Chain A
């Protein structure tokens, strides 16, 4: 067994829980928050690289984008268009209940054109013209595979390393391990944008950014579009900033007196948390306020970025969060589940994410943030080579395909070890 894996498995829940309880846990966490947590040396058994990534932006494309229409061209398929997928290719791999009843599994080649881009000569579909321009910043891994064949277990797996609920999510681990570099913002932030495609959408679950068996303060904090980005952030109507300040002062003073009587260090922590809450009430709206971004930003990310809650706006926010020291920004963009009408809906989805995804890379680069930020783009699985439903000249759909799909990564050192599980890549980049 790989030592990293081994350690992961052998650390006991006892260790984790002890961190969360009062006093000591808080002390340990404080040491993390303030200390320089990056490891100088590697783990035994792994190559000694310096940790290059300090932050992660995970652009999760929920539903499973079609690798065959975006990054993994198969020109040979044209010859086999409409041919029933041979058993010798499928080799008994399971298929979902949505197509297992189909009389035939006709091969569907992509209707989209591919070209090579950049010095790397990466093949990218015409649906992603902006992404094509940053091709040389990307590591395109076309050999991802996963076990689950349905959304729930697949997305739970890619976010937590287990198909079944109950494990901490990737961001929770990073929050736990690295803490936040900004005392006024959480370490792990979640942003959600809605589908561009017309067909039905797949749901998301809060377990995807859950803390599992880690203390709950490592849960991802959802930043939402609209007037109140963090739940309960706003002072209620009728409470002025001044009133709030006075209230927190009184609460703090009485709490302090209590602490002097009962000597519970947890009270001191609580006083500090009220102060942080107060600071968040300014720091978060300031963060979310894009009005001071120059016009060039919106040229880069596209006009959509002005629309709160859009994917483009969330990409821009991701950069702003990273700039302010947030460790892990988890975006979800819904709508990639093209069981039917793939040509229409995939084009709509790509239009929704292409410019902003590329802009994020460009923007991070020009700010010098790209070197130590790991950017991941991808879904929970890929899509079948065969058509779901009726195959016509211009239209087709694709079912879920876990055994081969594509994800994009950005990081400075391309010599990654082709682990096929994202969580490992993320963890590895953070420690190596």
Chain B
């Protein structure tokens, strides 16, 4: 694999750079103590643990180097040359040197020397740092420096002093406010806010701004953004079908939790086990949606047991990464190779989540159970109102009386048999006989028809390969055909035809290709074609209503022989249908030299439907006759069944018939009204939002260790427990999700607080004190400032897990307030700013890039929460890849108006086709938990910022704003636009470049006013009518250039 080779090369580059960074330190420290966890363990982990680590199955020579006792076998403290470990690492004979050559890993001489020195210094062993509970370290004394503003700075400064470095100066006030506003709200400051801040000369002006922003409704949104990545929040189910789901009520819960400063321990417990809390509130139930955000599969033919396991594995992996920074997922198939997590540990942890009342395949129609219904107040009121109204109708229909009256009626009921003059009548109850008395029995032409239960006895089924001929009658032009129809295949097809292929003459009854009607249903319109010569001399009509898929519908087509479209009628279930007339130009006969038939593959696509009770008449039947054929026949069949043998469905249909056609008028009225009210109630219920939640099964499911992680391979049975290498559940805590949640937030837990504060740190400084914020294990990066991390973690717990106070602490540090301006020397010394001698400077996250532009342009809709929206997106992106319209969320229907300008976190997130312009800026696809994002810098990003209508519209809105408010002077316009976009005034050179662009573009657009109009009409928002189009276009290019500046999409 070439990539592995090159990767090694690049890792080499990386190491060289890292070495540069560390060299100074290393030289100073040549005589200082080697730290096992920071310096030695990573060497052993990278190079040795795979064969000499936690994985029992692949362990060589029964040697573990991740455990003190075992490692002691090959270490003689104080004597490197007597230690087998050192001997083998340093062996002159390549065949005996470790690691084996075949592994492709080599230790550098420096690394070998580090191990040697560590042994010489006594080989002091420590548990992996992150499994030791944090102990609050003393705040370093940095006497003499007035730089620190809070203890964070003491830790940072102490490290800098050790490195011989100094912190940078404080950033300018305007930079600070922009940084702070973007960090705490995800939005830029307004020019007014900047002005007020600059004017505030009080010593605590900055702290006041911090408090103002922490109280902003947008603070909760900003904090939620990171949590949504971890929680793999999305608006579709993912996997194959990837249809729509509603988890936004949970998303809004997260925003609200941060806004109301919910302590992090409660935030954790509610999300993991809110349903198990005594007297759980609706909000606590809603919170448990955290563990329902995983993908849910509904692929046809998939095996439910397989996916049930996947969902639970996802919960295990997600909770482990989000709360503990552990890559526990490796232990699904085998003992973890680097961290002390056995496969058994994995499945004991798995057992906590294996007890939900859920299905392996689900999500067909929106949310998958278990659900929480969330009616709003109006809906609640309306529902109560409807229930009352239904009850009122029901009291008018006392069951006893109705049943008695119906019983009485049914004894003597005589229903019309319908018209008795059929030219042919095929009951199709297993045979092809004509029972009209005319003995026109049907003939099988090819294939084998299937018979199954139909509305009247059996029904005949066509599979595309079967053809029946029914006979050639009646002789005259007028006719009726009446039959029960049930179709399943969505392709257009003919059910019945009497058509001469050569003369193109005759009749075809068919459906067009079925359309999706939502909720997974398809339905099709029915067409009748009557031709003397198709298509030029013909009648064609098509019903407005559609016939539903997979249900029996009674169809009657009648024609009076008049040669006019108005002479053709179509009935569904006895109800006359409105039709669209597509052709109405018929002269001459429609009688072909062909029999009536079904399934001829040479006429249209052949039928794949079921037909029952097919009758032909030599005249147009009347509406009441059509009703008799459709309705009365069914009821008659039920009546002929002895009362005791009627199924529930039959009883219901009989009652429905009785109450709607036979019963006394006051009952009929009450029944009709009740039906309407119930329909309204159903419609309302469908509109009530739900959110997926966790609820326990009354009887726990059994959990087994799954060999190689395969759902079919059950081995040892296990019960819920936390990993053996971590502290046990707190005394008295139940071995369920609630116990697990309490364990996570127990102050003695070594990971939870560290992982949480590390991610907060990452938000502000671009990467965490532990860079691998998803992995605090042996293969993760060691903390750059371990004492600071522990101080923050313990402080966080002691503060009562006060999230807002923690943010305040971080952003009020002198470390945070440094300038991000660097120097070539510093870039070389510390390219990734791990030492924090300056503030990190990095591009805004995907959501903020867009929100920032919308806010600068004044377009941003600041509504908090609610349903997800569909902003501009290039056409066809979903449709080219999606399953098709029988499922939801397969077609992108763009929003309009204000919804186009909602914050990006509200953009509808389809997992298999994530929002294009956000993916380009490194947003994850939300299929899996993500603890941090990469930060790339690509040409596709430039294309989005220059060409996406969102950004053009924002640029134009900004241009309008400066043209209207900054007068005619080009420089004042540029100053205002620049101030709004970058929160600072442009310097003279910037002014000059931008005003030159303005002048040249004004000339260009003046000479091509039509192009100007094209540019300023991008997006839905109308351009300001009062402004000269050419001038507006020119200024739009200027503001667009400003919005494209690196500084504008970067947190300085």
Contacts and interface: CB of A to CB of B under 8 A. Distances in A.
A303 to B, nearest CB: 23
A173 B3 CA distance: 7
Nearest to A51: B2
B229 to A, nearest CB: 13
B993 A250 contact: yes
Main SS at interface, chain B: loop
A237 B1015 contact: yes
A169 to B, nearest CB: 12
Contacts, number: 353
Contacts of A24: 13-14, 17, 831-832
Interface string B861-897: 0000000000000101100111110000000000000
Q: How large is the interface on B (under 10, 10 to 19, 20 to 34, 35 or more residues)?
A: 35 or more
Interface in A243-261: 243-244, 246-247, 250-251, 253-255, 257-259, 261
Interface in B739-778: 767, 771-772, 774-775
Given A24-B14, A206-B925, A219-B919, A237 B1018 contact: yes
Interface in B668-713: 712
Q: Which of B3, B238, B934 has the most C-beta atoms of chain A within 10 angstroms of its own C-beta? A: B3
Q: Which 5 A-B pairs have the closest CB atoms?
A: A177-B3, A238-B1015, A96-B301, A238-B1014, A20-B934
A177 B1013 CA distance: 46
A176 interface: yes
A400 interface: yes
Given A12-B779, A14-B771, A150-B302, A270 B1018 contact: no
Contacts of A306: none
B1045 A258 contact: yes
Given A150-B240, A207-B927, A276-B939, A238 B1011 contact: yes
A129 B779 CA distance: 54
A178 B447 contact: no
Given A152-B297, A232-B874, A3 B102 contact: yes
A203 B881 contact: yes
Nearest to A237: B1014
Nearest to B45: A12
Given A203-B912, A247-B1037, A251-B1041, A15 B11 contact: yes
A239 interface: yes
B454 interface: no
7 contacts: A23-B827, A94-B303, A207-B925, A240-B1008, A247-B1041, A273-B941, A274-B939
A216 B1013 contact: no
A10 B337 contact: yes
A395 B101 CA distance: 58
Contacts of A276: 939, 942
B6 A236 contact: no
A7 B1018 CA distance: 51
Interface stretch (B127-135, B435-443, B945-953): B945-953
Interface stretch (B281-289, B534-542, B994-1002): B994-1002
Interface string A137-166: 000000000000111100000000000111
Q: Which of A221, A270, A271 has the most C-beta atoms of chain B within 10 angstroms of its own C-beta? A: A270
B549 interface: no
Contacts of A421: none
B184 to A, nearest CB: 22
A246 B1002 CA distance: 13
Contacts of B952: 236
Contact of A233 (B295, B337, B832, B943): B943
B301 A176 contact: no
A293 interface: no
Given A174-B3, A204-B881, A255-B1046, A262 B820 contact: yes
B992 to A, nearest CB: 10
B823 interface: yes
Interface in A226-242: 226, 228, 230-240, 242
B997 A17 contact: no
Nearest to B1043: A251
Contact of A262 (B303, B997, B1015, B1052): B1052
Contacts of A239: 1011, 1015, 1037
B398 to A, nearest CB: 45
B464 A395 contact: yes
Interface string A34-66: 000111000111000001000000000000000
Interface of A: 1, 3-4, 6-15, 17-24, 26-29, 31-32, 37-39, 43-45, 51, 94, 96-99, 149-152, 164-166, 173-174, 176-178, 192, 194, 198, 200-207, 210-211, 214-217, 219, 221, 224, 226, 228, 230-240, 242-244, 246-247, 250-251, 253-255, 257-259, 261-267, 269-271, 273-274, 276-277, 280, 341, 390, 392, 394-395, 399-400, 427-428, 430-431
A427 B1037 CA distance: 46
B795 interface: no
B817 interface: no
B464 A23 contact: no
A318 to B, nearest CB: 18
A91 to B, nearest CB: 14
Contacts of B802: none
Contacts of A244: 946
B465 A19 contact: no
Contacts of B58: 1
B689 to A, nearest CB: 26
B880 to A, nearest CB: 6
Nearest to B825: A263
A204 B1008 CA distance: 44
B300 A232 contact: no
Q: Which of B919, B920, B938, B993 has the most C-beta atoms of chain A within 10 angstroms of its own C-beta? A: B938
A114 B732 CA distance: 72
A265 B830 CA distance: 12
A263 B1045 contact: no
Given A98-B301, A280-B939, A224 B880 contact: yes
Contacts of B914: 206
Interface string B48-85: 00100000001000000000000000000000000000
A254 B1045 contact: yes
B280 interface: no
Nearest to B933: A216
A239 B1001 CA distance: 10
A157 to B, nearest CB: 13
A251 B920 CA distance: 20
Contact of B1004 (A38, A226, A243, A390): A243
A247 B946 contact: yes
Contact of A8 (B1, B10, B831, B1014): B1
A56 to B, nearest CB: 12
A365 B770 CA distance: 52
Contacts of B7: 11, 15, 176-177
A231 B827 contact: no
Nearest to B241: A203
A22 B771 CA distance: 13
A12 B936 contact: no
Interface string B327-361: 10000000001000000000000000000000001
Contact of A265 (B6, B242, B827, B842): B827
